Amino acid sequence: MSTKPLTGHETPGDPCCIVVFGASGDLTKRKLMPALYNLKALKLLPENFALIGVAVTESNDDQYREKITSDIKQFATREVDNAEWDDFAKRSYYLSGDFNSPDTFKNLSLKIAEIQKQWALPGNILFYLAVAPSFFGKVVEQLSLVGLTTESDDAWKRIIIEKPFGHDLASARALNATLSERVKESQIYRIDHYLGKETVQNIMVFRFGNSVFEPIWNRRYIDYVQITVGEQLGVELRGGYYDQSGVTRDMVQNHILSVLSLVAMEPPASISGDSVRNEKVKVLEAIRPMEPEEILANTVRGQYGPGIIDGKTVPGYRSEPNVNPLSNTETFVAMKLMVENWRWADVPFFIRSGKRLAAHTTQIVIGFRRTPLLLFGKDVEDNIMPNRLVIHVQPDEGITMDIHAKRPGPRVAIANVPLDFSYKDFGETSAATGYETLLYDCMIGDMTLFHRYDSVDASWRIVDPILDVWQALHPRDFPNYAAGTWGPEAADKLIEKSGHSWHHYFLNK
Ligand code: BG6
């Protein structure tokens, strides 16, 4: 696993053919193509590669090259070098076809064979499924029927699957059963783009690369953990998908629980592959699924009404395109989870996420316990916060440690002093989309940052009972927060009941 920005000093990925299903979609043009181009610019894409875009839209190789050339000008995150791009474009091909039709896969097989011959490529193939979830199983099934998933000693076949992996526990299990009839677990790369984010990967380096934090990383010193993923955006043009999903499925089941498990896991035996994934899944397994009455006490859901974001009035969720005007889908969630193991017993993990919140921010706050003795008087101590460590994931990347210091002067007055470390001051901030590391890791066969099925199953086991209770008890107060706020009041009450409050901490502000 790459635990620092990819610099180009690493060895390039294995020569391969990259097949992107969903080639005309948003994800492909905004994230995947810029990420592949960044890898090329960093000399991490193998010199010998070919790319095939597959989608239903009628087009041909030349038209496709024109399209990606115009898209990259718009979405590249670094300056595009003409010579590099020309090489990229000339190695790019297009196949139009319906994913339901076996002919598409027969044609794909022929096209791959032709391209492999033309470029003298080995048999390695990376399939990227940037398609609607209902196609995941079908595409893999069809690929296997035409022999495209069969590996040999010198030819790997790897499949990157986008989220969501299932709609609930039962459908995730069914999808996994379909996949495992066709391919091995070692071929399935379940992607989570949060794990491609620089500061998320830095959690491991921070914890296990410094000797000072790990000894205090437990219930004796840590009072609570908060994870906030706030978005100012609404559902944009994804109302159709989102209304069937909601924030718990969209963000908690995957991104947030995965970040939580990195924060809470035991030190792994090594930093790659299954060692890390073994430890992550143990954390999820230690979060006991809640009983209905616990769900009512420890979770809050919300839906945004109209409000103001950046000075502009925005509509409520129920008026968004492709959203049911009577929708009960939650666009905000807050919950208190308990990791019931020796390290974390009794330490609450508060998580919250929502659309149309007051700020775009992802941050992890580790709250430490107060000092055991109030040496400087209760009044002084009451006015200062116990130490906090804030890991800023986005938009600004960095880490803040809040410590206490004496204010200069004759009296004892204590102030909170933030020790800030910002990635911006640290050196080159990478022009990354977040997908580079993950695509690169797949090309070198490193699965550390991808979800293994047991962790997907474990996170559905946490989330499913909550969704069931919510489904049975329709919310009576939706919409219950105005766009541009921090969610419903009940979310504040939820955390206040435990004697805490949500932190909104901004780097460099
Ligand atoms: C996606 C969700 O997985 O993550 C979106 O489907 C969400 O709804 C997005 O907006 C957030 O990602 P990021 O990287 O912008 O925080």
Q: Per-residue b/e over 435-461, b at no fewer than 16 CB within 10 Å?
A: bbbbbbbbbeebbbbbbbbbbbbbbbb
CA distances in angstroms from 382 to 328, 402, 417, listed in the order given: 42, 16, 16
Neighbours of 496 (CB within 10 A): 11
Weakest mean pLDDT among 111-115, 177-181, 390-394, 461-465: 390-394
Distance from residue 253's CA to the centre of ligand 1 (Å): 13
The number of the ligand 1 atom at minimal distance from the alpha carbon of 231 is 10
**Domain locations in the chain?**
16-162, 195-367+451-496
Neighbouring residues of 498: CB distance < 8 A, sequence distance ≥ 6? 224, 336, 348, 350
Q: Give the HSE-up count for residue 410: Cα atoms under 13 Å, Cβ half-sphere.
A: 0
Confidence bin at 507 (pLDDT 50/70/90):
low
418, β-bridge pairs = 402
pLDDT of residue 2 exceeding 60, the answer is no
Determine the 3-state secondary structure of 291 from DSSP. Answer: coil
**Structure tokens of 234?**
């609404």
Nearest CA to ligand 1 atom 15: 231
Would the CB of 231 count as within 6 Å of ligand 1?
A: yes
Tell me the C-alpha distance between 117 and 285, whole Å. 47
pTM: 0.93
**What is the distance of C-alpha 117 from the center of its chain?**
37
Contact 331, 245 (CB under 8 A): no
**Structure tokens of 462?**
């946490």
Helix ranges (DSSP H) in 2-135: 26-27, 33-41, 61-75, 82-90, 102-119
**Structure tokens of 97?**
């076809």
Tell me the C-alpha distance between 461 and 464, whole Å. 6
Please give the DSSP secondary-structure letter assigned to residue 135.
Answer: G
Distance from residue 229's CA to the centre of ligand 1 (Å): 9
* Element holding 283 (H helix, E strand): helix 274-286
Distance from residue 403's CA to the centre of ligand 1 (Å): 32
**For position 222, what pLDDT does the model report?**
98
What residue has token string 């609404």?
A: 234
Instruction: For the domain covering 16-162, report its CATH number.
Output: 3.40.50.720
Neighbours of 279 (CB within 10 A): 17
**For position 407, what pLDDT does the model report?**
85
In tens, the pLDDT along 237-284 reads: 889 999 999 999 999 999 999 999 999 999 999 987 799 999 999 999
**For position 421, what pLDDT does the model report?**
87
The verdict on whether 451 is a catalytic residue reads no
- Identity (one letter) of the amino acid at 230? G
Round to the nearest angstrom and report the end-to-end CA distance of the chain.
33
Would the CB of 192 count as within 6 Å of ligand 1?
A: no
Distance from residue 234's CA to the centre of ligand 1 (Å): 11
The number of the ligand 1 atom at minimal distance from the alpha carbon of 235 is 8
Contact 344, 264 (CB under 8 A): yes
Neighbouring residues of 344: CB distance < 8 A, sequence distance ≥ 6? 218, 219, 264, 286, 338
Is 3.55.10.10 the CATH classification of the domain at 195-367+451-496?
Answer: no
**For position 219, what pLDDT does the model report?**
98
Confidence bin at 429 (pLDDT 50/70/90):
low
400, β-bridge pairs = 390, 420
pLDDT of residue 482 exceeding 80, the answer is yes
Nearest CA to ligand 1 atom 2: 250
Would the CB of 162 count as within 6 Å of ligand 1?
A: no
pLDDT of residue 437 exceeding 60, the answer is yes
Contact 462, 283 (CB under 8 A): no
Nearest CA to ligand 1 atom 6: 250
Would the CB of 198 count as within 6 Å of ligand 1?
A: no
Q: Which entry of 167, 193, 255, 451 is annotated as an active-site residue?
A: 255
Confidence bin at 5 (pLDDT 50/70/90):
low
Contact 289, 462 (CB under 8 A): yes
Would the CB of 250 count as within 6 Å of ligand 1?
A: yes
DSSP string covering 456-489: HHHHHHHHHHHHHHHHHS--SS-S-EETTBSS-H
The number of the ligand 1 atom at minimal distance from the alpha carbon of 229 is 16
